[in-house]
Amino acid sequence: MAATRACLVALAVALAFLLLEGPTMAAALGTAGGSSEEHLRQVRSFLRRVNKAPVTSIQSPDGDIIDCVPISKQPAFDHPLLKNHTIQMQPSYHPRGDSNIAPHPITQAWHQNGKCPENTVPIRRTKEEDVLRASSVNLYGKKRPDSIPNIHPETSVTTGHEYAVASSADGQYYGTQIKVNLWKPMTETAQDFSLTQLWTVAGSYANNDLNTIEVGWQVYQSFYGDNNSRLFIYWTRDAYRTTGCYNLGCSGFVQTNNQIALGGTLSPQSVYGGSQYEICILVWKDPNTGNWWLQVGGTNVGYWPSSIFTHLKNSASYVQWGGEVFSSSAGQTSTDMGSGHFPGEGFGKASYIRNIQVVDSSNYLRQASGLGFIINPSPSCYNVQSGTSSNDWGTYIFYGGPGRNSNCP
């Protein structure tokens, strides 16, 4: 499978520090309950908490603003369990084995206008209009308690979500590594989202103690304000009930890198029938500190401290990889998953995740052979096919679909 691919994608992001915006989008204010004035006060109070004072700010052509915040002042340290946390600037150990990833720095569009200085981290600024698009301040940047494909009999919690996912069998896992090609799927409404990601999971919905670490790319207009494909992370320790958020929108993830903006735009996208562009993602548990590290394109971005979790303090029970679509509309949505084409179309046309590897208890990367489960509840809408190759694709999946079509009403 000869392919034009890049383990590096340019991240287009943003810059320039402005005062919080004035009262805009008044119509949106009335949707959150209470008076418009009261809601606006809540929004501005939230913005004062989440937007930390930067050393400098940088504006990007896509409209984002990237704030370069002192590393010790980032949102992570608002977490009550991280008040006296000592930052781990580098992982103690990287997973051993053939990662098949050449470490390259990720370049971002905002670098055209500057870079964040040492000892700062780039944070995509949350704007007033971003929060006003949410149904409430409390729900801004948070998933609802129905956001993971279940290999266990709890499928009723995934109302409105469609999946095309491969899952490992139950066991003990200490990380995973993948290469995934990037697309710009069409979403039917601004409230729909389409994403591709990995899930590292322990605990369960049944006991409301589900722990997850999630990384991938997504198109989510009502959250980001545009239909760009963006890098994202997420975590929870209580089945999405009260903990966790996208990117750095709440305390938890500790960023150590000053060049990668979580939530930033990714480019270029793959071309149907043409060049394919990839992101390389690695999540693993540092065997010395227990922290879960994130690497993107060979660059260490930061980590989730083990102390913010319960079950993931030890290991993951299973790992999943694939696509997800959400729609609040009644009936089937026409939102694309991945390229918007079915896996049977193959390389250059369908979305894929290749070189699927897991990290074992010896901190060794090994091929995720024999994927335990395939989750595709609506295969005529979105589907997934797995395989194993002897070349550099290793274990892989093709996945995705167009949603509503003649076989998927």
| Catalytic sites, residue numbers | 214, 324
Contact 333, 381 (CB under 8 A): no
DSSP helix/strand/coil, 321: strand
Give the dihedral sign, CA 357/244/306/172: negative
Q: Which of 142, 22, 118, 127 is nearest to 66 (CA)?
A: 127
Contact 165, 385 (CB under 8 A): no
Give the dihedral sign, CA 245/298/277/363: negative
Q: How far is CA 41 from CA 140, 168, 243, in A?
A: 15, 46, 23
Contact 272, 348 (CB under 8 A): yes
Q: Which of 404, 19, 52, 79 is nearest to 251 (CA)?
A: 79
Angle at 252 (CA atoms; ends 139, 291), nearest 5 degrees: 145
Q: Which segments of 245-347 are extended strands (E)? A: 254-255, 265-267, 278-285, 292-296, 299-304, 318-326
